Each structure stands twice: as structure tokens, then as C-alpha cells.
Chain A
């Protein structure tokens, strides 16, 4: 028996040492990073910085790689290592929660989740640095945290639009539709000519969510604000004429879409559209690079999702790819990170980035060169515009909402959909 007790003790001791040593090793690796200090008369040591970049597409990866290369020429002792991973948002959260935040990363400053990270001190404040003055004032205002300060450098803007095949539109002599009625009549013409008007991807919930949000915002009817009121218990979705009209529009556009929309993933949609399988798709700025990669010769155009009345059309646009520094980074890492942010915010570098990535830059003095997308960019500059839902609605509620939309598309029952949304929001708030 004594032997048994002794063994248990030994085992416990070994386990404790094991876990302690795990802590030790992580600390010592931090120490390793701290040694990059500049002492007088000593060559500055090279410091390596991980840069977790949330965009997996090839275009932004190349754009960042180019900037990093230029940066390296100017700062020989700072090595920035771009890291791109699948499912970056979730990985970033897990790493932050595990005290393993990358020193520099990109994030979405207008989203509620970002503001939560700021509140917990996970992200370094950037207000007071001169490079912020290079950013468009409107975008800078939009990306402020709750305390009125900026925690990220907004580099580019994203948007939702209808991408169209310019050649197909030219062949059928169809102009860019500027009202919903014109869009529907264009769909009808394509259908009569045996061309699939729309390809839709309802399989991936996020993609369905983007289509839903962009349609909601194009209506310019305060639907996002209404949803916030519903969450606060002041209103009911079932009473909303706007929600009903939106649901009708979704079903209308679904009728002009592919039969297998619920089985089609976003990637399949981009791929088939790029290869001439439909005249239009509803997608975001993020899709442009992928579509052109699938078919580099395609004449790709984009226009805003039209409202019933032309001058009321609003565009869904938000701050994309904003760069921030971890609050847990060492002083040396922070200093190097700030240098990198300053570098990328210079007009010539922002221009290079925007040219490669394909998204419009937020830096003053840059020029947007993609002619096909100009109808959307002009509309964004002209307004009205609206931010993504994630800036005002919690993720769990919007996910439930999109799931209800998916069910409505299957069952085609608008009344049930409206009631279902009220019910799921009620459940989520319990």
C-alpha cells in the first residue's frame, strides 16, 4: 500500500513539473524575443515579427509580400513573416485567449468582436501617430473603437455588388440596371435567351449572409437598425414591412438563380461564373481576384445592387484588412510593428498594395484603376453607404438569422420566416 501511495505521489510530482516546464518554455521563448534590444555601439539585432494576415486569397497575399519585400530594403534588421492560415478569425481569437497573439495582425475594426478585443486591452492604441492622418477621414471615423480612439490602420475598403459578365451584357445589348425593375427585366431577357441570369451560393452560411445583407442594405430602409431594435426587445420582425419586402426580393432573385443554389459553395459559384455559366452573381470585393484567376480573360464588371428607385440605392461597404499591433507584444515588437504600419500607409506603397490586391485603398492620394468596378466605387463615394451587420449585431444572432433565411428559401414561406426570426432572436437573448 505504501508503495502505491508513494507511486501516486511521484506521478503527481512528475505531472506538476511537466506542466510547469511547459510554462517555463513559453516564457523563455518570449525572453528570446525580448533580446532584440538596441544597445549603444552594438549592431542592432535582427528582430523577427509574425504578421498574421486574415485574407487567404492569392491577390492580397502577393500584395503583402511585395510590401514586406520593399520594407525589408529599408529596415534590414526587421524581418516580417507573413502568415496566412485557414479560418484565421477563429485562430486569432484562440491565440489571443491563449496569450499567444501574433505581434502584428489584420482585423476588422468596425466589428463588435474587435471592439471587445480592444476593451480587454489585447490591441495597441494607434491614436496620436501621424500616419493615421494619411487615411480617409470618413473611414477613420468609422473604424474608431467605443472610446473614440483608433486601434487599427484601415488599408482598404470592401463592398458587396453584383458582378456581371460584360460580354454577355453587350451581346444582349443590356445596360447596367439601375433599378430593381430593370434588374428583373434583365434577368428575364437572359432567361429567354437561354442564359442563366444568376448563380447563387446558399450552401455556405456566410455567403448567404453576405447576399442577405447586401440586399437588405440596397433597400436603404433601415433594416439593420430595425434588427437592433428587435434585439433590444422594442420591435418585432413580424411587424416589419421592410423585412417582408426583403424576403420577397430574395425569393424573386432565387427564382432567377440556379436550381442547386443550396448545394453550391461560394468557390463553385465564382468558378462557374468566371467560365461563363451565368450573367451575374452577387458577391463581394474579395471575390474579384479569385474570379479573374479562374478566367484571366474575363471582362468582369460590377454594379451596385439596385433599389426600387435609382437615387435611393445604398451600398454595403466596410473597412477591410486593417492592420493592428498586439497589446501583448514586447516594446521592440511594437516599435518594429509601428514602422511597418507607417511604411504601408505611404501613398506609393498603399497604391502598390491596392493595385495588386484589387480593393480600393483607404489612403488619401491613391487612385483606383479597375474600370469595370467603377460604378460601385463611384456609388460608394457618392453615398449612401452602410456598414456590415457585424458592426451592430452579435454573431450568434446573425448566424441564426441567416439560418432562418436558408429555411425560408427551402420552404418559401415568408410568414413562417418572419415569426422564426423573432423566435430565434428571443431564444438567443435568454
Chain B
């Protein structure tokens, strides 16, 4: 690893030493926690008692038939899927528009990046007030039945309302990444294709998109992961309610762990979530690593 013609390669060693602190911190705070989590998922610890028993895979077996867990899992999948579709398509569209601007490009980029600088809980609480105080007034004024009360108060609209707020903020970072990706595409190719008579859709389909695949992958994975592990927006706006309509998996884990004193069961749920995310990320990286211009 550090050998170069029989001698230690000092350059590589220096690089390694630079990354060592991060590696150690990462190992301690992430890998160690994951191992602890897996261990506790095989116990019956309630979070308070000094003693507990090792019960093997009983918690996982129990979860297989647990209606609340499956309900929560399906809500989470819906949440993540909706978030990915909304965020990726909207961010891509915004990035294309921003990139085509001739003037004030930086100004508009900063404006659209602004939501990313706010804390998600702040955003959630502001929107909570908007939903409660402003939306019903607008809904009643316009005679729209669906909006005549806070969308967070109905089991039918609460989840979509939270997704909307999450998207509003989550779109900011992908826009910037997409814009950066768009700027790496050589202008000559567009010129050449114009000469060949390609229309704007064809230019997008055969030039922009292939060049954007790596960027798309990054945004896709980031958004998917944030959708599957979202906690703050839901916790701040609905806390899983009304009537469990927004009880996504991380809120369920939190409730089981800290409110209902089923710490071990909560850990088993967390382990399942971990496996799902790890698998999805692996598949995603494998699939989208192929294709695209830059990775070839």
C-alpha cells in the first residue's frame, strides 16, 4: 500500500495520516454505534433496566407480523419516492433555467440556495404556522374544500403536506450540484449538434443528460437517503399524526425507543432500515456507475 520500489512512499503515508483523524472519528461514532445497535436489537432491553436478556432474532420475527411497522415502512417508501421525484425533477428544471440565464445568474443561484441554509426544524415550524393560520384563510376565500383547514390536520393530506415542505427545502442543494454539473459540459458539443440540426429536446436527451448522469446519481442517492431517514420535518410538524398517517419509520423508532420503552425493538427497526438503505445505495451506485459520459 505504501511501498514504492521497495521504499515507503512518504506521500501516500502523509495523505493517509491526514485522513486518519476523520477515519477514527467515523469509526467511533458510526461503526461502533452500528455494532452497538445490532447487539441491542437482539436483546429485550427496555431502555431503563440494568439487566436484560439476549433473545436472538425474536424482535425481527415480531416485526415481520407487526402491522404498525409495515404501515410505517410503506409510508416511508412513499415519502422517499415522492421526495425523489419532486426534488430531482424540480431541481433539474430549475438548474436548466438558471444555467440558461445570461444575467443575474449568481444572484438567482444564491436566492434558490437560501432555503438550504435554514435549519430544517425552523422551516418545519414556520410552515406549520403557515398551514395552520394562512392556508385555511386562502382555502375558504377561494372556496377550495381541501384547503379550508390545515392540511396537517387530515389523514389524507398530512403526509403530502410534509413532503411538500421537505421538498421546498431539499431542492436547494441539488440545484447547485446540477448547475455545477451543467457547467462541466463542453459548449463545443452543443454548437456542433446545433450545426447538425439537433433541436433543444434532442440536445438535452443526447448531450445534457448523459453528461449529467454522475450528478444525477449523487442527487438521487442523497435525496433517497434523506427521504428514507427523514425525522425532523415529520417530528416537528405532525409527530407521526394524525392517527399515524405520517408515522414514518424514524418517528416510529424514536417513539418505540424513548416514549414506549421498547428500546430493543426500536433498534431492530433501525437495523432493518440500515439494511434497506445500504442495499439501495449499493444497487444505485452499481447501476448508475455504468453509462454516462464522464465515468466511461
A: residues with CB less than 8 A from B are 3-4, 7, 11, 14-15, 18-19, 90, 93-94, 96-97, 113, 116-117, 119-122, 202-205, 259-265, 268, 394-396, 399, 403-404, 406-407, 410, 427, 430
Contact = CB atoms under 8 A, between A and B. Distances in A.
Given A15-B28, A116-B46, A205-B241, 11 more contacts: A3-B2, A19-B32, A113-B48, A203-B241, A260-B132, A262-B242, A264-B153, A396-B262, A404-B243, A406-B243, A407-B155
Nearest to A268: B132
A96 to B, nearest CB: 7
B79 interface: no
Interface in B221-245: 238-244
B169 interface: no
Given A97-B47, A262-B154, A203 B259 contact: no
The list of the 10 closest CB pairs from A to B, nearest first, reads A263-B150, A263-B153, A396-B260, A262-B153, A407-B243, A90-B258, A406-B243, A260-B149, A120-B50, A262-B242
Contacts of B153: 203, 260-264
A11 B100 CA distance: 50
B179 interface: no
Contact of B149 (A116, A121, A259, A430): A259
A428 to B, nearest CB: 9
B1 A395 contact: no
Nearest to A396: B260
B24 interface: yes
Interface string B34-62: 00000000000011111000000000001
Nearest to A395: B260
B152 A203 contact: yes
Contacts of A260: 132, 136, 149-150, 153
Nearest to B258: A90
B109 interface: no
B243 A399 contact: no
B48 A263 contact: no
A90 B259 contact: yes
Contacts of A94: 47, 258
Contacts of A265: 128, 132
Nearest to B240: A205
Nearest to B65: A430
A18 B27 CA distance: 11
B68 interface: yes
Where chain A touches its partner, the secondary structure class is helix
Contacts of B152: 203, 263
A394 B259 CA distance: 10
Contacts of A19: 28, 32
Contact of B261 (A96, A113, A205, A259): A113
Contacts of B178: none
Contacts of B256: 396
A120 B3 contact: no
B255 interface: yes
A406 B149 CA distance: 16
B67 A427 contact: yes
Given A202-B242, A410-B242, A263 B262 contact: no
Nearest to A430: B62
B131 interface: yes
B37 to A, nearest CB: 14
Contacts of B150: 260, 262-263
A97 B48 contact: yes
Contacts of B1: 3-4, 7
A117 B48 contact: yes
A394 B260 CA distance: 8
A430 B262 CA distance: 13
Interface string B1-15: 111000000000000
A395 to B, nearest CB: 5
A293 to B, nearest CB: 19
A93 B242 contact: no
Contacts of A15: 24, 27-28
A100 B40 CA distance: 19
A427 B24 contact: no
B50 A18 contact: no
Nearest to B133: A268
8 contacts: A7-B1, A97-B47, A97-B48, A202-B242, A394-B260, A396-B260, A399-B259, A406-B243
A416 B136 CA distance: 29
Contacts of A396: 256, 259-262
Nearest to A116: B48
B244 A403 contact: yes
A250 to B, nearest CB: 14
